[in-house]
Amino acid sequence: MLLILYIRRSIADFLKADQRKNERGAMKLPDDLQSEQAFTALLAALRMGKLRSSEFHTMPALAEALGFPVAATREAIKRAEAQSLVEVLPKRGFVIMSTGPETTRACMDMRAALEAEGVRRLLSAGRPALSHLRATHEALLDEARTHPGADLSRRALATDLSLHDFMAGGLDNIFLRQAYEANRNRITVIQNARAFLPDRVIPAMEEHLAIIDAIDSASAEASVIEIERHLRQTLRWWGISAVG
């Protein structure tokens, strides 16, 4: 019961408008819309770490926690399973994806490969604007080196994601984007299991600035080298070898 209350409170903001509409006696949502919203709520719970790696849950318990019918929740779990976010155990429930070394390495390698292609495409279209990305990274790096705030790791993660999303923005192909977004969801679970430690902030921002410098030089080759170096360093901080 505590878990149910915990998850429901955490995802309330994501569904507030729809909950108000239902409370006022609005018409029942179509099944496909309910399953879509249930999937959004499931992703929110994973993103906020309310559902964590390797945890077992039953379908009725999750449905109650998310505030959706079992049927809509079951459809959401099917979508999550298609993205390898969960493993369904027939007639029992499901388990949130493992974040072991093999899975983590595969997800991070996939991200690096897709971002490298994204950068190639960005550069083929011209030199992208990088001033805002550079400024936010430099400001965070300066803070980390001098007077780090209490919420530095949280803000560092947001800054970290801003560069990765920028590089993926070059993937002007719906299927590549879908593959990237599904992998991004998996990495969210991984990052909740492997915290962004304060000691990692400085080297991570330095690696990101090296990537930004390489992109700014309009060299796809240099950019790929720095992306791959960042991949190796991230895995090393998590105690995972770059080669399985």
**Is there a single domain that holds both residue 79 and residue 151?**
no
- CA dist 53 and 44 (Å) reads 14
Q: pLDDT tens digits, residue range 17-60?
A: 445 444 433 345 566 789 999 999 999 999 999 999 999 999 99
> What ranges in 83-125 are assigned the alpha helix state H?
101-124
In this structure, are 85 and 175 located in the same domain? Answer: no
User: Which residues are paired to 56 by β-bridges?
Assistant: 95
CB 159 within 8 A of CB 137: yes
Higher pLDDT, 124 or 10: 124
Beta-sheet strand order (sheet of 56-57): 56-57, 93-96, 86-89
Which tokens hold the place of 221? 């080759």
Q: Both 123 and 175 in a single domain? A: yes
For residue 210, pLDDT over 90 is answered with yes
Q: Which of 71, 96, 121 is the last residue of a domain?
A: 96
Contact 163, 230 (CB under 8 A): no
Give the containing element (helix H, strand E) for 87. strand 86-89
The confidence score (pLDDT) of residue 198 equals 84
Residue 243: inside a domain, yes or no? no
The last residue of a domain, from among 65, 80, 96: 96
Same domain (yes/no): 127, 169? yes
DSSP conformational letter for 92: T
What's the distance, Cα to Cα, between the start and end of the chain in Å? 40
Residue 242 included in any domain = no
pLDDT at 145 exceeding the cut of 60: yes
CB 87 within 8 A of CB 95: yes
Which residues constitute the domain of residue 144? Answer: 101-237
Same domain (yes/no): 169, 131 = yes
Whether residue 116 is found in the same domain as residue 178: yes
Residue-level pLDDT at 20: 44
Q: Residue 74 in 3-state DSSP?
A: helix
Q: 92 and 171: one domain? A: no
CA distances from 19 to 23, 40, 47, 51, 68 (A): 6, 14, 21, 21, 10
- Final residue of a structural domain among 44, 64, 96: 96
**Looking at residue 70, which CATH number applies to its domain?**
1.10.10.10
User: Is position 57 within any domain?
Assistant: yes
pLDDT recorded at residue 196: 78
Q: How far apart are CA 109 and CA 128, in angstroms?
A: 24
Average pLDDT over residues 143-157: 92
Instruction: Tell me which DSSP letter residue 90 carries.
Output: T
Contact 84, 186 (CB under 8 A): yes
